[in-house]
Amino acid sequence: MIFAAEGITMLGNKAFNQKNHLEIAGCDIIQLAEEFGTPLYVYDETLLRSSMKAYQNRLKELYPDNIVAYAGKAFLCSAMCRLLDQESMWLDVVSGGEYYIARESGFPTEQILFHGNNKSPQERELVLKSGI
């Protein structure tokens, strides 16, 4: 599997190496796929952190009393929860499953928002008991 660089605009910390393989944050994705299998999600932590900070800083300039919450439905795992907590982000969850991931990762309950429709009585009870 080879990625051609022609006609592609690279954003962030992505590039093509000498083998013409896509690299994300210096990691050859072909090697990663061979080591860990596919499908495989690869995120650039440095880029995520800098984007979060830039977004928060700009919003604070425009709206000083804001809260920035990451939508867990975009992608959620324990590592993402820890990163969000370290960057002082809140977390928006829409299901008992997303809430469970946040809780098990140690994400602060007071920084979790739970919203949306079609919640089961068990999901509502679970989050209400947790103080959300």
pLDDT one-digit tens code per residue, 78-110: 999 999 999 999 999 999 999 999 999 999 999
Residue 6 banded pLDDT, cuts 50, 70, 90: very low
pLDDT of residue 12: 56
Cis? peptide before 121, omega within 30° of 0: no
Helices (H) and strands (E) in the chain, counts: 5, 6
Residue 5: predicted pLDDT:
35
Residue that has been written with the tokens 């999600």 in this structure: 41
Beta bridge partner(s), residue 15: 23
> Do residues 29 and 22 make contact, with C-beta atoms less than 8 angstroms apart?
yes
User: Which whole number is the average pLDDT over 101-127?
Assistant: 91
Specify the pTM: 0.79
Complete domains list, the chain, with CATH: 1-42 (no CATH), 45-129 (3.20.20.10)
